[in-house]
Structure 1
Amino acid sequence: MVHLKHVRRDAPWAWLKAGWQDIIRAPRVTVGYGLIFVGAGALIVLGLNAIGFASAVPVALSGFALVAPALAIGIYQVPRAIERGEKPRFRFIISRFPSRLSQIGFLSLLLLMLFLLWVRIAQFLLVALAPDTPLLPGPFLEYALSDPAGLSLMVIGTAIGAVLAAVAFSMSALAFPMLVDQDVDAVTALVASFKAVIGQPFVMLTWAWLIAFMMAAGSAVFLIGLAVTFPWVALATWHAYRDFSPEAAPSASSSASPSA
């Protein structure tokens, strides 16, 4: 059983404000962390273009959104340092490893499986609905927006991607910050995330839309914007976790007093 606090309906905006304040306090650490993943994303995009699979770039970018919560665990050391009254430094990210690495790895594997499922679904849809789709970016976009098969591919692919994104969000909304901050297992962290989404759907739907908008906006500017929006969303997620303050209730066996 996991207990959560009730948060205000406008809480997502407060989380973004708090995350931005963290960036202002430690711009080199936070933006530097974001640039690492911008560089990795740029290499993937260049690689796909080099082998003639530029049309797979949108799938890769949407896949990044699925696994991004797992990639953000290092940035949580910034607000933790601020809470302790310390000056955030990049060495905190690489030296202060969470004690629950195995549980974080398990949850990361679940997100990776979602990403691989999305890749397989995208491949299936491409073959089943639009086998004649051109792979170059310009012709692909023209085909997707003008041909009925291309339009079907876009609509169905977007709908399925949205469902997978919703599952990933529900799994990770609070889970990774909780695993970094508390000595709990992955199942408990997953329960906390799902309970927050189910218990306060308006708040979490608003938060999900804000995340989607910020990640899309960051990706639109040749991925450079992700250097800011990625750590910003991650830091705001930490403040969302703090706002909900999930607390795992002791089990009946552990709370029962020993018999005389």
Structure 2
Amino acid sequence: MVTLQTVRRDAPWSWLKAGWRDLVRAPMVSIGYGLIFVVTGLAITAGLWSLGMTSWIPVATAGFALVAPAFAIGFYQVSRKLDAGETPRFSHVWLLRPGKITQVALLGVFLIILLLFWVLIAQALYAYFAFGNFRPIGEFSSFALATPRGLTLLAVGTIAGGILAAFAFSISALAFPMLVDQEVDAVTALVASVMAVRAQPFVMLTWAWLIAFWTILGTVAFLLGLAVIFPWLGHASWRAYQDFSPVPSPSRASAAAS
């Protein structure tokens, strides 16, 4: 069992402000870490483009959104160092105790499973609705935006992706920061995250909407905007975790520490 603090209904806006302050206090480390994922995304995009499979770029971008919470642990580490009055260094983003790495990896596997499930759904929908091979983005856009089957594909795909994204958000919103900060197991951290969503759905729905909005905005800017937005949202997620202040029951905490 986990106990949570009640947060204000407008708390997500405070998390964004606090996250921005963390980003400004450690811009080199935060943006440098964020650039790793931007460069990786650009490399994947370039690879799909060279193979003539540009229609899969939106699928890959949506897939990154599913697993991004696992990669944001570096930003949680930076915010944690700032809270301790220390100067964050790039090496800090990788510093996790072996026991914590195991639990982070376990929770990360859940997100990877969701990612693979999303890819399978995208392939199935494409095979069902698309008669032709619309791999270039121009052909796919004409099909998706100008034909009934294409519009149906977009609608069904958006709904399916939204459901998976909501599930990924529910199990990870507080889980990864909690694993970084406390001696708990992945299941306890996952439960804390789900409890926060169930206890204050309006707050967490607002937070999920803000994350989606800024992520889409950064992606539209040829992924380069994510070099700033991803660190910003990562630091803000740490502040969200702190606001909820999840505390596991003594039995679970002692079991995780043993």
Structure 2 equivalent of residue 258 of structure 1:
none
Output the CA distance in 2 between the equivalents of 1:228 and 1:98: 29
Output the CA distance in 1 between the equivalents of 2:64 and 2:50: 20
Q: Structure 1 residues 43 and 58 mapped into 2: Cα distance closer, same or farther (>3 Å)?
A: same
CA RMSD of aligned residues (A): 1.4
Matched to 2:199, the amino acid is G
Unaligned 5+ residue runs, structure 2?
none
Output the CA distance in 2 between the equivalents of 1:73 and 1:95: 10
- After TM superposition, the structure 1 stretch with the greater mean CA deviation from structure 2, 54-63 or 130-139, is 130-139
Output the CA distance in 2 between the equivalents of 1:18 and 1:204: 17
Q: Secondary structure at the match of 1:222?
A: coil
Structure 2 equivalent of residue 18 of structure 1:
18
Structure 1 equivalent of residue 28 of structure 2:
28
What does the per-residue CA deviation read over 1:153-187, in whole Å, with 9 as the maximum and x for residues that have no partner?
10000000000000000010100000001000111
Structure 1 equivalent of residue 82 of structure 2:
82
Cα drift, residue 203 of structure 1: 0.1
The equivalences for 1:184-223 within 5 A come to: 184-223=184-223
Unaligned 5+ residue runs, structure 1?
256-260
Q: Structure 1 residues 187 and 96 mapped into 2: Cα distance closer, same or farther (>3 Å)?
A: closer
Cα drift, residue 7 of structure 1: 0.2
The equivalences for 1:47-86 within 5 A come to: 47-86=47-86
Cα drift, residue 62 of structure 1: 0.2
Cα drift, residue 199 of structure 1: 0.3
Output the CA distance in 2 between the equivalents of 1:57 and 1:95: 32
Q: Secondary structure at the match of 2:143?
A: helix
Output the CA distance in 1 between the equivalents of 2:244 and 2:206: 15
Maintained 8 Å contact 2:96/2:180? no
Cα drift, residue 20 of structure 1: 0.2
Maintained 8 Å contact 1:133/1:143? no
Pairing 1:177–2:177 present = yes
Matched to 2:43, the amino acid is L
Output the CA distance in 1 between the equivalents of 2:184 and 2:77: 18
Maintained 8 Å contact 1:126/1:133? no
Maintained 8 Å contact 1:42/1:223? yes
Output the CA distance in 2 between the equivalents of 1:47 and 1:131: 24
- Structure 1 length-normalised TM: 0.95
Maintained 8 Å contact 1:133/1:150? no
Cα drift, residue 93 of structure 1: 1.4
Cα drift, residue 251 of structure 1: 3.0
Cα drift, residue 89 of structure 1: 1.4
Output the CA distance in 1 between the equivalents of 2:163 and 2:95: 36
Structure 2 equivalent of residue 121 of structure 1:
121
Bigger Rg, structure 1 or 2 = 1
- Structure 2 length-normalised TM: 0.96
Matched to 1:71, the amino acid is F
What does the per-residue CA deviation read over 1:186-244, in whole Å, with 9 as the maximum and x for residues that have no partner?
11001000000000000000000000001000000000000011111111000000000
